[in-house]
Amino acid sequence: MRKIFMLLIILMLLFFARPIWEEPVGEYVDLSFLDSVDDAIENLAADANVTIALDDAKEFTSRLASQLQALVLTSTSQMPEAVEKPELSETDSLFAIHNVTLGMSKEEAQAKVGLPLRLMRNEYGSDWHSYHTNYQNYVLLSYNKDGNVDGMFTNQDIISSTEGITMQSNKEEVRNLLGVPLKSLQKGNVQYILDTREEYDLFKVDHLYVTVFYDIHEESTVTALQVIHEDLEKERQEIYAAPNDEIREGYEYLLFELTNSARIQRELPLLKWDQEAMLTARKHSEDMAENEYFNHTNIDGESPFDRMSNDGIDFFVAGENLAYGQYSSIFAHEGLMNSMGHRENIVKPDFGYLGVGAAYNNENQPFYTANFFNR
């Protein structure tokens, strides 16, 4: 009986230590080596005495696995101290984010939001200046050549509006207040049809382009807001920006930041940037872009598990998100959040590290690979 008990402990420990792929890449996990174990446990459980031993073993290994996992998570990810939301004042602008409005000088804006923590090149040819405190009160601002705000974004509840739109507003309410959303966007001589999939609306209000993103899993309530001055929008000559190293790096870091911004709102540990995982992810994005496919399994039959292992990344739990064809990292992130399998990766408490890699095809369409894991 003692031998059986010890065997069960070893088997259960092996089970909890195995690599885990979250949806939508679960089908690429090869767990066939566990078939014989499952059969053996089934057969052994037919004996009443062994059933008691099995119950004891499961309880013991469950406690042990939980303790080990908690220890690992504690060592890699800590919850930052909570900060208060800004007290939002009334605005005479269509939208204000963290009490910042378009046209405000950089000095005025940064008196409200502090100094930027990172600059990331965007599709408009300017930089997103990232402001936050451990991803709380998350704001992106862009400035024109005169140093005035010409673009802003947030996915947190720090917006105010003359129209009364808040993060609690739903799609129907927003449309009633802002009118009919655009169905296309003119760039040069090309008119691009907007494939919104009811996940966001683009409105033209006076001199502003307002994109309102919705959370389809939360009754289509507002989940993010982007406001762009028409002068900045004109800087984007085509729907997709011409890629370069600055834009690629900007897109990669922005998707990482948006992931952490989503996690902190759900009181989840923040992810740490992992350079090795970024390189692995970037290679897969490049492979997909160059060879014109979109899949977790590459043309050599390698899964995300294989690619990370081949690059020397140690992990006990991992997952991969892919996105393709979105105009920017903001649109990619919001699309991933509206896909339940990808959303689960973004908000999975077990993950501690993330690397994001981007690449572009001949039409300048971005491919994103995000590799989540914990070691």
pLDDT of residue 195: 87
pLDDT of residue 1: 57
What distance in Å separates the CA atoms of residue 198 and residue 339, rounded to the nearest whole number?
13
The pTM assigned to this predicted structure is 0.81
Q: Across the strands, what pairs with 209?
A: 204, 228
| Residue spans of beta strands (DSSP E) within the chain | 95-97, 118-121, 127-133, 136-143, 149-154, 159-161, 184-187, 190-193, 200-205, 208-215, 221-229, 272-273, 317-324, 353-360, 366-374
Here the tokens at position 242 are: 């011409």
What distance in Å separates the CA atoms of residue 15 and residue 9, rounded to the nearest whole number?
10
pLDDT of residue 188: 86
pLDDT of residue 105: 98
The alpha carbon of residue 253 and the mean position of all alpha carbons in its chain are separated, in whole angstroms, by 11
- Helix or strand or coil: residue 154? strand
In angstroms, how far is the first alpha carbon of the chain from the final one?
34
pLDDT of residue 58: 39
- Helix or strand or coil: residue 84? coil
What distance in Å separates the CA atoms of residue 71 and residue 65, rounded to the nearest whole number?
10
Answer whether the bond into residue 24 is a cis peptide, omega within 30°.
yes
Q: Is 144 exposed, middle or buried (0-12, 13-18, 19+ CB in 10 A)?
A: middle
pLDDT of residue 31: 27
Q: CB neighbours (10 Å) of residue 313?
A: 19
Pairing label, strands 353-360, 272-273 = parallel
What distance in Å separates the CA atoms of residue 51 and residue 221, rounded to the nearest whole number?
49
pLDDT in tens, the chain (375 residues): 555 555 555 445 444 433 333 344 433 332 222 233 232 222 223 333 333 333 344 344 444 443 444 444 444 456 899 999 999 999 999 999 999 999 999 999 999 999 999 999 999 999 999 999 999 999 999 999 999 999 999 999 999 999 999 999 999 999 999 999 999 999 988 999 998 999 999 999 999 999 999 999 999 999 999 999 999 999 999 999 999 999 999 999 999 999 999 999 999 999 999 999 999 999 999 999 999 999 999 999 999 999 999 999 999 999 999 999 999 999 999 999 999 999 999 999 999 999 999 999 999 999 999 999 999
